[in-house]
Amino acid sequence: MRNAPHILLNTPDIEIWPGGLLRARSSDDARVLARASHVLRRKRDGRYLAAQLRGGLMPLVNRLADEPGIDFALTALDALRTQPSRIPPPGGSLPLLQLHLHLQQLDLDADAYAAQTGLPLVAEPAHLHLAGFDRYRRPLWLTTAAARGWQRMQQAAAIDGVALDAISGYRSHDYQLGIFERKLARGLSVDEILTVNAAPGYSEHHGGDALDISTPGEPPAEESFEHTAGFAWLQQHAARFGFHMSYPRDNPHGIVYEPWHWCYRRAEASL
């Protein structure tokens, strides 16, 4: 696959990252990650599971063979390295079985939630493209089309003297579940969390087409973004690049006003 080093391959339990992008958490990590062509990362908690080195696969956890989804991930890694034609084409997505298990963990009725909010279930892409880096120098993962749209839009804004920052892009179902688990541990109820966070599986970020945008000096994900030159530029030009603000004031989904949240729609991109 063209640009294969910049592809994140997604499996239900494990992400396969290209080498050189993950932050080392210890000196031992640093030595291994510096030599890795790819790293297997557990989606549930971000734990590094194994690194693909020139001499072979190096486990980074005990009993790697017992990790859920490891066989699937290793098959995908082998395809990524040796048979790129076997990589799912753009637009491919993962099955939703894992997601339904997450919703059961939260005792959340998916049908009732969907009916109440009008939000559809969003599957995770089978792979994502590196769209650059966000404000915090973290890799920004989007679908291939959304990544190209974002890069073109950011460049066009810069030409007009407007700086746009990405705050975040793709988020997995597991990441969203982690938000709920942490808030539940602090004593909040699921209903309380749902007033500010979409249920796992219902965030546009899961599909890799949505990103949160800000501008230098502006705090992330704050309503005050609507008063910036960046927001004014997006209102006037974003649609040309396929991006639309998903949650305006009084939106039918009951989601708070989010002037920072923009989603790419392939059919509406003109550039």
Per-residue pLDDT reduced to its tens digit, 67-98: 999 999 999 999 887 776 556 555 689 988 88
Element (H, E) at 94: none
* SS3 call for 261: strand
If asked whether residues 157 and 252 sit together in one domain, one would say yes
pLDDT, residue 268, reads 63
Which of 48, 63, 86 marks a domain boundary?
86
Q: Count CB neighbours of 258 within 10 A.
A: 19
pLDDT, residue 105, reads 87
Distance CA 263, CA 238 (A): 10
Distance CA 101, CA 92 (A): 21
pLDDT greater than 90 at residue 145: yes
Q: Which regions of the chain does DSSP assign to beta strands (E)?
A: 7-10, 14-18, 38-42, 48-53, 56-59, 127-133, 139-142, 165-168, 210-214, 243-245, 261-264
Residue 26: partners with Cβ closer than 8 Å, 6 or more residues away = none
If asked whether residues 62 and 190 sit together in one domain, one would say no
pLDDT one-digit tens code per residue, 150-185: 999 999 999 999 999 999 999 999 999 999 999 999
In a domain, 92, yes or no: no
If asked whether residues 145 and 62 sit together in one domain, one would say no
In a domain, 91, yes or no: no
pLDDT, residue 100, reads 87
Q: Please indicate whether residue 187 or residue 84 has the higher confidence score (pLDDT).
A: 187
Positive or negative torsion for Cα 232, 235, 240, 243: positive
- Residues 38/42/45/51 CA torsion (nearest 10 deg): -40
70 lies in which domain range?
4-86
Q: Please indicate whether residue 97 or residue 224 has the higher confidence score (pLDDT).
A: 224
If asked whether residues 178 and 48 sit together in one domain, one would say no
If asked whether residues 21 and 122 sit together in one domain, one would say no
If asked whether residues 166 and 210 sit together in one domain, one would say yes
pLDDT one-digit tens code per residue, 16-29: 999 999 999 888 88
| Region 38-43 average pLDDT | 96
If asked whether residues 118 and 206 sit together in one domain, one would say yes
Distance CA 49, CA 65 (A): 10
SS in 3 state form for 36-93?
Answer: CCEEEEECCCCCEEEEEECCEEEECCCCHHHCCCHHHHHHHHHHHHHCHHHCCCCCCE
Q: How confident is the model at residue 102 (pLDDT cuts 50, 70, 90)?
A: confident
Which of 41, 59, 86 marks a domain boundary?
86
Number of structural domains (the chain) is 2
If asked whether residues 113 and 56 sit together in one domain, one would say no
Please tell me the least confidently modeled range out of 88-92, 105-109, 131-135, 263-267.
Answer: 88-92
